[in-house]
Amino acid sequence: MTLCLGLESTAHTFSAGVVDDSGNILSVVNDTYVPQEGGLHPLKTSLHHVECFQDVIRKALETAKTPLESIELISFSQGPGLGPCLRVGCTVARALHVFLDVPVVGVNHCVAHIEIGRLACKVEDPLTLYVSGGNTIVSAFDCGRYQIFGETLDIALGNMLDTFAREAGLQHPGGPKIEALARQSSNYIDLPYTVKGMDLALTGLLTSATHALKTHPLADVAFSMQETAFSMVAEVTERALAHTEKQNVLLTGGVAANTRLRDMIRSISEDHGAAFHAVPKELAGDNGAMIAWTGLLQFKQKGGLALEDTGVIPKWRLDQVPIPWRT
């Protein structure tokens, strides 16, 4: 049995997870940076990671009842993400690789969100809607890769919710607060709905919703913003589903915690005779377990990285990554 330590540091969260090669998750420990004001400043966020990484890794090993010397593989998020944050995880991974003399692999963060969903929901070949603070992607496996069927043309869904929440005076992360507010209203305000082919754009909606705060109650704007944005991702997901004829739909990423979004995606899935799956909440956001599990899959097929190939890749697209464990 191979035990892998996975390190996640693409954005707000430094996380470590221990997973074995049968897919048992032995631990996940997170430390998330919450800015006192404003959004995520890359450098400040990376300093948070520098301060907490030792504690997070120690706790993850303790929870897994695994001494550091039993770790046989190190996996880290190589991209996409914020450069300074990625570099913290990368540097820690390199150091452990040299110190323990065990292989190191760098995994794509978006691939990891899909793989942890496939593992946790026991679903082989889903159409995936991945919605988080940094990504909004509809994808499915085809021709050896997770092909992108639709994506945001500007900002990510979670980023839009967080930015709007900030404009409304709410603290980061805004997604859960917007969800709670939206539940208090059923008063729909007309907001821009922007789907272009299979892609969508969210900045116009963000601007209009922010303006609407001057003239409408916050709960009405929160409700209308959710309804509009979630309908847009549901439309694109539904079209990808009709085209690919996949039998399963998987909702993953931090925004997958949202009950209204789950209901909408479940509804379009059922309309097409597909089963709906949502990643369990504790694995929906960024976490080290998804990096460890994807590292194990990747290592089995391709082995470890040479030290000179472990540099971070801040703009690494999901569809650039070969997925040999599925072919």
Which window, 121-129, 132-140, 235-243, 315-323, contacts ligand AMP (CB under 6 A)? 132-140
Find out whether 106 and 305 touch, Cβ atoms under 8 Å.
yes
CA–CA dist 229, 224 (Å, integer): 9
For ligand AMP, the binding residue among 175, 288, 295, 304 (CB under 6 A) is 175
- Is 255 a binder of ligand AMP (CB under 6 A)? yes
**Binding map of ligand AMP across residues 234-253, x = CB under 6 A, - = no contact:** -------------------x
Shortest separation between residue 287's beta carbon and Mg ion, angstroms: 9
Q: Please work out, in degrees rounded to the nearest 5, the angle formed at the alpha carbon of residue 236 by the alpha carbons of 230 and 237.
A: 85
For Mg ion, the binding residue among 250, 286, 292, 297 (CB under 5 A) is 286
- Is 17 a binder of ligand AMP (CB under 6 A)? no
CA–CA dist 159, 179 (Å, integer): 14
Cβ-based neighbours of 181, under 8 Å, separated by 6 or more:
218, 219, 222, 223
Find out whether 28 and 283 touch, Cβ atoms under 8 Å.
yes
| Nearest alpha carbon to residue 272 among 294, 247, 236 | 247
Q: Which of the choices ligand AMP, Mg ion, none does residue 115 contact, using the CB cut-off of 5 to 8 A by kind?
A: none
Q: Which residue has the tokens 């690789």?
A: 97
For Mg ion, the closer CB: 174 or 304: 174
Residue 33 φ then ψ, to 5°: -80, 125
Shortest separation between residue 120's beta carbon and Mg ion, angstroms: 15
Shortest separation between residue 308's beta carbon and Mg ion, angstroms: 27
Question: Exposed, middle or buried by CB within 10 Å (0-12, 13-18, 19+), for 210?
Answer: middle
Q: How many residues bind Mg ion (CB under 5 A)?
A: 2
- In sequence order, what E strands does the chain have? 3-8, 13-20, 25-32, 73-79, 104-108, 127-131, 136-142, 145-151, 195-196, 199-200, 248-252, 275-278
Q: Which residue has the tokens 């504690």?
A: 55
Find out whether 307 and 103 touch, Cβ atoms under 8 Å.
no
- Which residue's Cβ has the minimum distance to ligand AMP? 254
Q: Of residues 130-149, which lie at the interface with Mg ion (CB under 5 A)?
A: 132
Shortest separation between residue 177's beta carbon and ligand AMP, angstroms: 8
| Nearest alpha carbon to residue 139 among 121, 113, 157, 161 | 113
Which window, 124-132, 166-174, 211-219, 287-295, contacts Mg ion (CB under 5 A)? 124-132
For ligand AMP, the closer CB: 96 or 170: 170
For ligand AMP, the binding residue among 6, 79, 80, 158 (CB under 6 A) is 158
For ligand AMP, the binding residue among 6, 117, 126, 174 (CB under 6 A) is 174
- Is 227 a binder of ligand AMP (CB under 6 A)? no
Find out whether 172 and 254 touch, Cβ atoms under 8 Å.
no
Q: Of residues 77-106, which lie at the interface with ligand AMP (CB under 6 A)?
A: none
**Binding map of Mg ion across residues 217-236, x = CB under 5 A, - = no contact:** --------------------
Interface ranges with Mg ion (CB under 5 A): 132, 286
Interface ranges with ligand AMP (CB under 6 A): 132-134, 158, 161-162, 173-176, 179, 253-255, 257-258, 285-286
